[in-house]
A and B are shown apart, each in its own frame.
Chain A
Amino acid sequence: MPSRKHVHAMLHTGAHYTSLILFALFTTFPFIWALSSGLSGDASHMYLFPDGFWPHEATLDWFARVFREMPFTTYLKNSTILAFFTIAGVVAVSVLAGYPLARMKFPGRGLVFVAIIATMMLPSEVGIVPNFITLKHFGDAAAALQGTLGLGPDWNLREWIGLNSYFGAIVPNVAGAFGIFLMKQAFEQIPQDLIDAARVDGANEMQILWKVMVPVTGPSIAALAIFTLVSAWNDYLWPSLVMNSKEKMPLAVGVFNDLTGPFATSDNILMAAIVLTVIPVLVFFAFTQRYFISGMDGAVK
């Protein structure tokens, strides 16, 4: 007969697993629903509970139709471009702003930091109108420049930095208080001895930043990159306002425009498109998650 202690331990583990499984179901159920609808040849069960959660007359037809009925690869390419440059921009800005805030002494440092954090109090939507107008002016200026330089109409400088440009969709998202805050915290965690050691080893301030500080904060940078990827990939509102031609729309905007509304074919194809939209992020995450784990171990003590 098992001892009381044994039973107790089993109950404990059981409770852990039950709560974790429940939580996993809770967070994944929208995805499971979308996946089973996308795989269902028979659409009539989609809104039934619990039948909606597994495929009926399984088929890949809807997935194939996603590629036929909308320019999926174009949208995918656009999403990739936007996400990649947003990540690069966010990481560069956050590292370069976080380092001095964490590690250098200059007058007004506290004030600058408070001002950056204060921007987190505002909803990001307040930026939409001013940013939109600014971009429009950028475009006008670019067009004027094009005229002055006498470049032909196919240069179309307006759409390099104005509305309907990648630049316009990316740049407002690059300077974020969250990333700066995260990197400042990460740089503050680094022991002073490590910086001093690099300095004595002959590194100048820039070398200390790029060869010691940045590699050591790798896990934080990876986390920041993932957060940024997810938010850039899923961003709908701003790109839907800036991008007005189909060739430049990212997935979130394109899927919504093409597959919903009065002329939409069916909800199943929408679900298939949503699943296809999410998969690249999942794959990326699967390949990068091990970089989050390693950290400061072994640096000091």
Chain B
Amino acid sequence: MASVSLRNIRKNYTRDVTVIRDVSLDIDDGEFIVFVGPSGCGKSTMLRMIAGLEDITGGELYIGETLANDIHASKRGIAMVFQSYALYPHMSCAENMGFALKLAGTPKAEIDSRVQRAAEILEITHLLERKPKALSGGQRQRVAIGRAIVRNPKVFLFDEPLSNLDAALRLNMRVELSKLHQELQTTMIYVTHDQVEAMTLADRIVVFHAGLIQQVGSPLDLYENPSNLFVAGFLGSPKMNLLAGVMLECGDGLASLSLQQGMIVSARCNASHLRVHDKVTMGIRPEHIRLVSADTAGALAAQVDLIEHLGDVVLAYIEIPGIHEVLCMKLPGSAPALAYGDRIHIAFPPEHVLLFDHEGNALPRLPA
């Protein structure tokens, strides 16, 4: 087991294509950390640099206390699980799982017992003698994870390990991975583009975008206090509603802004470094929009565009006249029935409204 530290890591594939710009991060021993971001943002590249499969262009990588930049992949004591599973097709599952130990010269009896133990944890004992081609996708992924466990690595790396599985199996494996981490207490670095996986698995999430870390924090912290527009838009499903506006009142108390058509919204944010008429973006999560009666203070008129019943919740897509943005609102399943074309009134509770300045950075929120 070991911590991992990244210090100003950079990666260029060619001289002028920079994939990772300047990434610094401390990963604690035993932590489950998830790198999340859109496809192509450099997550796999980052992971492969930690694994030793790509050269590091600049910066320092520490695994434990050791500077690992120039240590060969085979000597880093890490295990990696690939999206494609990458099982050796000519070996049985047991041989696949024992391959690393065999290369390391471990006695055969010990290899057998460790493979057996890992197989028991993953419930694949009955598959050990089979070749990978005789397994289903989910079983192959278990074997691939088994191959990683057997080695007692210092760090586990996962590169989108569940992306090739169907939805039900993915959910299943997600739960098992969580349990596995509980059991092993080994540092795990997990890459995914799926924000649900990130939210459910991580001790801490690292949001990547365009080769830069956008924000690091616990899933809940990132959800509630995104530090910029990218994180706000990336985490959460359905997405946070974002509307453009200009500042009306700045101060360090309640800030207020005006949307198009002069609609006024208040937010419990510290906007003291902004000035009146500065352009801002306000954000509010679907579950925080309130359905109110017409005479409530600050009520905005709106019209229902589409209703989706998901059983436990109802998603209502609504439009405010004059603002050409569809807002999404999440209501409890027991909410009064809405239908296409209904005229309703909504309110944005100030404590749930987030503000982002013109560069997309979040304004600090004030305690309620």
Contacts and interface: CB of A to CB of B under 8 A. Distances in A.
A114 interface: no
How big is the B interface, by class? 35 or more
Given A193-B84, A201-B100, A215-B90, A298 B74 contact: no
B134 A202 contact: no
A223 interface: no
Contacts of A299: 85-89, 132
Contacts of B135: 298
A3 B354 CA distance: 72
Interface string A114-125: 000000000000
A201 B86 CA distance: 12
B90 A216 contact: yes
B84 A200 contact: no
A199 interface: yes
Interface residues of A, number: 25
Contacts of B88: 194, 197-198, 212, 215-216, 299
Given A218-B90, A298-B131, A202 B100 contact: yes
B360 interface: no
Nearest to A297: B133
Contact of B99 (A201, A295, A298, A300): A201
Contacts of B82: 193, 196-197, 300
B41 interface: no
B289 interface: no
Nearest to A191: B84
Nearest to B135: A298
A203 B74 CA distance: 6
B267 interface: no
A204 interface: yes
Contacts, number: 89
B163 to A, nearest CB: 11
Interface in A272-301: 295-301
Nearest to B99: A201
B104 A202 contact: yes
A207 interface: yes
Residue from A193, A202, A203, A212 whose CB has the most chain B CB atoms within 10 Å: A202
A131 B72 CA distance: 45
12 contacts: A191-B86, A193-B82, A197-B82, A197-B86, A200-B74, A201-B99, A201-B100, A202-B74, A202-B75, A212-B88, A297-B132, A298-B140
Closest 10 CB pairs of A and B: A298-B133, A298-B132, A297-B133, A300-B84, A201-B100, A193-B86, A197-B86, A299-B89, A215-B90, A202-B74
Interface of B: 48, 51-53, 72-76, 78-80, 82-90, 99-100, 103-104, 131-135, 137, 140, 147, 151, 164
